Structure 1
């Protein structure tokens, strides 16, 4: 660690100082026909997607208090939902639309945009970007949303705050308060209210708000005029609840509009033409997936025993024993079906029983892995702390020039503890209905594709496979009878294995953690395109619309495909994600004011090796830059799951495959104010 001498030379001047966002300017505001106070505000940012001729629009759909009353939703707060729409690079007027949602609950979809499948990545200067080769908006219009309200750049009301890095505490700043002097561990900024009662309480409530967003956006946003009206939803992690619930609710409303049982005098009668639901490393059904956690911790395809046999048996016992996890989830579900069948959180007894069930299961199953393994939650092949995918967008989205470009009045936060607590308070996690939603969608012609990176622990592939076999739809028997086929990515690389019958597929993706597009961008892109355009996931050569009974053939399981444990990448400390990316010594040096920090990166031997320009005077300027080329891995062979595909233009931070605090399931997240330097401590779920 470089300490006092170097710190005196560069100090903290290279850090983006925390600040209140500049007032939005040059924003177009449209009054909606859908009731008083419903508005659209937007502008063309001109950042991130810099492909000539390709437009993007960032803005908000503003819903006033009471806007959800027509669906019996008690909502006494404003909902200002941030969106960022990217036209397809090729033929946008004829391209379908995909809505991207990250999970959490409480995680911003800017993770997906800047670290997974969006048009650009952020350079290590946290101030400039470069284009992504495997962006999902190549041939598809993409709509990234921060939801529910208080997530990411979405808000209810604006609240100035201070954040202490040393304690993780957030304090509200009132009108007459003196703005404190900032330093490396005390920050100021503007955030949502932090009021747990001013956001959605569970996935069902969030679905209602999202349907109202969609009614306004699809009918009145002037930047979207499609010839192809197909709409798909792609989501990951807690999106295993969002995706099934949102898509099923949209389809239910479609049917009510079509049969005349839904009539809205304001005109919220738009049919959302649902096409595909894509679930990536999704935690969908707790009862089905909990048994997989001990299994993958002790016996996985990488040959890594992350826990010993004693801990493994303790985890199994916690699920199976009388009064344990399984029984408590059953109690939760029985009560929910009787007293809160729509999962709105209206019965406090149900809420409490479901909350206690989730708490018991996480404490006694998941947390045993966290306590003893030393491995990353989102990538069991990597030792903590982990540097990938690098969260440089935390700093980028709080640069004043970026805030001005987007027209946002709030500082960016990746994860909202307020939202996480609101969902946990009603026990949203273990409640029933998700499998039924998936069956309903499949039986109504919506394609469902499940994709799981095989290095993820948080929402692992073993549990994902179990979910795929537990969906009780009309094609369930034929799906279970299908075998596994290789996923052919290109002429030299097999990216995983897939079971598919008709409109349902389940894929295990090799050498990928929680966010498949970050680890295996080409594989993810090929699978995404095949799913949307009615091609088989295995080869992309079979027209599944013309052959609706198409089924893969091969072995009955995928355990025969073993993988090599990859080497750990060089780690570095990015102080905006201090508690997840930094060692205890690095955290201590930052809190003590001893760390040398440039562009939010602690200067040490690793970081100067990874980022050779770190100590050069200046650094990246505003706007878009091209990264210094770094060698990419070369994929070879046609069937080895141990080979990681190449990136032709990797970000400077692409130091290997690992994980960091991202769209996993959060038990509790204290505030991260990325405006300057810190993501305050998060407890993962």
Structure 2
């Protein structure tokens, strides 16, 4: 499972040439290794090499729908895993979306197999079946394991923070476009969750900076036509969201976790210890101050976790029976599956190594509200949403972040009342939208919203990718 708690489980060179002369030097070949046939693409502009298997027959079995799984070298001994699925509808014209799970340091195979991918596990089955609510019902979807060391990615991990992760993601997309040039001018969206409250704003902001550099000639590369950003149950801003741990634990729709006395004590800790430490982190920006803030505020979270028996990702479940079940991870340990998809490492869902590097720079309490505001101001469609049974990145804190975003419609958005959100006439949550910015609370959903409410998730995904404010149907 992915995690955002402070203590619980809690740049690359990117100048890319894209001239016709350089592209003529790109190399393509077929290599057979250990019984696996790889398509090899060597990108002259970056020196990157992509090796992938086409149509492994794993997960997506819809006739005529292509899939590609493999590696892109984004640096010396830095092999980033990707799994790409064409859209089941109009792949030649459908938009492109990328999915990133959080952590920091958790695999996007979580999203692929448990949430919004072409296949899922039903009723304890050991093999997946087709998911009719997959995001590739509408779009071409790219799942990425980053940073290096996460999931099936392997090699040297130079990433120590959200900001140092972003250039590698941009480089991966540049090489992806070089291999699959038909997607260069498509509408592109980023969807993410959990620590994606850091990733999403920063990745989108970095892409927009690179686009501006390409426009003024300071950066060489392909412009990425970013039109949408969606983040569910995200961790954006400790200053705004830490107190929501206490508020949600005291009063939510499902389970009271702390009593009046515990609440009072925790609020004292928040006021006297946690928030001053966060202010010091934000003021100085030093790794040591931000590490201290992470540890100090983590004491609040640990106290709440110890107060009652509950799953931090779904308060309706006990702590010793995490939900949803991790059936997929056993599937990805099957040697025949690993061989078929072209993976070259042992799958690791949320390894400690990459996480510890983020912890060493105090990345967690650093705020990405400014980047989120900048992205909203840029005019692309932005959706911030949350399942209301999740505690670790709960909807109370997420709504506070949404109402703190600065854009032309900020005042109108903050003062707007929530309206029922329906799918085919059935109420599934409540929302508000102003201009290109939407917030949605999803009823009856834990941390991984698409697992619990797949029809809702596909509907809001489509609407956001279509550059619409979300609306009831």
- 1:519 aligns with 452
Report matched runs for 1:74-85 at 5 Å: 78-85=77-84
**Using the alignment, how far apart are the partners of 2:133 and 2:328 within structure 1?**
18
Residue from 207, 217, 221 that aligns with 2:179? 221
2:53/2:68 contact within 8 Å kept:
yes
Q: Secondary structure at the match of 2:343?
A: coil
- 2:421 aligns with 487
Residue from 258, 272, 283 that aligns with 2:224? 272
Residue from 299, 307, 311 that aligns with 1:372? 307
Cα deviation code 1:563-590 (max 9, x no counterpart): xxxxxxxxxxxxxxxxxxxxxxxxxxxx
- 2:25 aligns with none
**Using the alignment, how far apart are the partners of 1:478 and 1:308 within structure 2?**
35
**1:306 is aligned to 2:257:** yes
**1:211 is aligned to 2:170:** yes
**Using the alignment, how far apart are the partners of 2:110 and 2:184 within structure 1?**
29
Q: Shift of the alpha carbon at 1:490?
A: 1.4
1:122/1:396 contact within 8 Å kept:
no
Cα deviation code 1:189-209 (max 9, x no counterpart): xxxxxxxxx331000000011
Flag as ranges the 4+ runs of structure 1 deviating above 4 A: 123-127
Q: Shift of the alpha carbon at 1:87?
A: 0.5
**Using the alignment, how far apart are the partners of 2:68 and 2:342 within structure 1?**
10
**Using the alignment, how far apart are the partners of 1:411 and 1:99 within structure 2?**
23
- 1:286 aligns with 238
2:159/2:165 contact within 8 Å kept:
yes
The change in CA–CA distance for 1:24 and 1:276 in structure 2 (over 3 A counts) is farther
Report matched runs for 1:399-548 at 5 Å: 399-432=334-367, 434-491=368-425, 493-539=426-472
1:95/1:227 contact within 8 Å kept:
no
**Using the alignment, how far apart are the partners of 1:155 and 1:252 within structure 2?**
28
**1:31 is aligned to 2:42:** yes
1:107/1:416 contact within 8 Å kept:
yes
TM-score by length of 2: 0.90
1:126/1:395 contact within 8 Å kept:
no
Cα deviation code 1:80-125 (max 9, x no counterpart): 1100000000101110011000000011000000000000013677
Q: Secondary structure at the match of 2:182?
A: coil
**Using the alignment, how far apart are the partners of 1:24 and 1:464 within structure 2?**
48
Q: Secondary structure at the match of 2:166?
A: helix
- 1:362 aligns with 298
Q: Secondary structure at the match of 1:94?
A: coil
Report matched runs for 1:94-493 at 5 Å: 94-122=93-121, 127-156=126-155, 198-218=157-177, 220-222=178-180, 225-226=182-183, 229-262=186-219, 264=220, 269-302=221-254, 304-321=255-272, 324-336=273-285, 350-363=286-299, 365-432=300-367, 434-491=368-425, 493=426
- 2:17 aligns with none
Q: Secondary structure at the match of 2:403?
A: helix
1:207/1:249 contact within 8 Å kept:
yes
1:93/1:227 contact within 8 Å kept:
no
The runs of 5 or more residues in structure 1 that have no matched partner are: 1-21, 66-77, 158-197, 337-349, 541-685
**Using the alignment, how far apart are the partners of 1:403 and 1:301 within structure 2?**
42
Q: Secondary structure at the match of 1:279?
A: strand
2:184/2:222 contact within 8 Å kept:
no
The runs of 5 or more residues in structure 2 that have no matched partner are: 1-32
**Using the alignment, how far apart are the partners of 1:136 and 1:63 within structure 2?**
26
**Using the alignment, how far apart are the partners of 2:124 and 2:302 within structure 1?**
35
TM-score by length of 1: 0.63
Q: How many equivalent pairs are there? A: 440
**Using the alignment, how far apart are the partners of 2:242 and 2:35 within structure 1?**
45
Cα deviation code 1:210-261 (max 9, x no counterpart): 111111111x223x62386111000000000000000000001101110223
1:117/1:135 contact within 8 Å kept:
yes
Cα deviation code 1:536-569 (max 9, x no counterpart): 42325xxxxxxxxxxxxxxxxxxxxxxxxxxxxx
- 2:69 aligns with 58
Q: Shift of the alpha carbon at 1:409?
A: 1.0
1:201/1:426 contact within 8 Å kept:
yes
2:147/2:159 contact within 8 Å kept:
yes
The change in CA–CA distance for 1:39 and 1:318 in structure 2 (over 3 A counts) is same
The one of the two structures with greater contact order (alpha-carbon pairs below 8 A, sep at least 6) is 1
- 1:160 aligns with none
Q: Shift of the alpha carbon at 1:149?
A: 0.6
Q: Secondary structure at the match of 1:137?
A: helix
- 2:9 aligns with none
2:204/2:229 contact within 8 Å kept:
yes
Aligned CA-pair RMSD: 1.6
**Using the alignment, how far apart are the partners of 2:62 and 2:184 within structure 1?**
22
**Using the alignment, how far apart are the partners of 1:79 and 1:418 within structure 2?**
15
1:94/1:228 contact within 8 Å kept:
no
Q: Shift of the alpha carbon at 1:489?
A: 0.6
2:185/2:225 contact within 8 Å kept:
no
**Using the alignment, how far apart are the partners of 1:374 and 1:125 within structure 2?**
24
2:383/2:438 contact within 8 Å kept:
yes
Structure 1 or 2: more helix by fraction: 2
